[in-house]
Amino acid sequence: MKKRLLIKASLGILLLTLACEKKETKAPRFPLDAPDQVMENTTITFTEQGVKSAVIFAKYLAVYEELDLKKAKGVRVDFYDQEGSHTTVLVADSGLIQEKRQNLEALGNVVVTTDEGIKLETGSLKWDPQKRKIVTDDFVKITKKDDVITGYGLETDEELKHFVIKKSVKGKITEVPEEGLKDSL
């Protein structure tokens, strides 16, 4: 009888211990590349000394706070000069944005069009806001009216007025401005 009572008591204590056991729930683990935020149809504005320098529109934006990185899809960027006047529009399939540094890399079917009608087409480019320059090592095509210049690698100002194509330059120029001739002599 004592043996049976001892077994029942031990079994009861064991059941109580198991019933009171804490179950730790672990937070779900996310992949390292999961964004902190996802936004749709959003805008980012860059300023320089209080003057708007660029406005970035994105159809989709994934935010990675620790990396100061935003991955965008369906990108359009409006650029402004140092007085805040609109100068240029960039469109691209996607982009990488570092908001704190105000860096922008445009990727896929990149087209830059100035308010004066000069058009740059390339596969990718980077915008350096400190130098106010656009650079790429990809194939480029620059069109102004009937003039077309192509090559590989480019460094230019945001308005595509002064540019250097680095190699394999080809072109069809129908009209040479007089001031261009004076500069080259």
User: If you ran DSSP here, which 8-state letter would residue 36 be given?
Assistant: S
pLDDT over 50 (residue 69): yes
Q: At a CB cut-off of 8 Å and minimum separation 6, what does 79 contact? A: 53, 54, 86, 87, 88, 89, 90, 158
Give me the pLDDT at residue 91, please: 97
* pLDDT band, very low/low/confident/very high, at 115 (cuts 50, 70, 90): very high
pLDDT over 90 (residue 131): no
pLDDT over 90 (residue 181): no
Tell me the per-residue pLDDT of 1-57, one tens digit each, with 9 for 90 and over: 666 655 666 656 655 666 555 555 554 555 567 888 899 999 988 888 888 888 999
DSSP assignment of 110-179: EEEEETTS-EEEEEEEEEETTTTEEEEEEEEEEEETTEEEEEEEEEEETTSSSEEEEEEEEEE-S---HH
Question: What domains can you pick out in the chain, each with its CATH number?
Answer: 37-176 (2.60.450.10)
Mean pLDDT of the chain: 83
User: If you ran DSSP here, which 8-state letter would residue 17 be given?
Assistant: H
| pTM over 0.95, yes/no | no
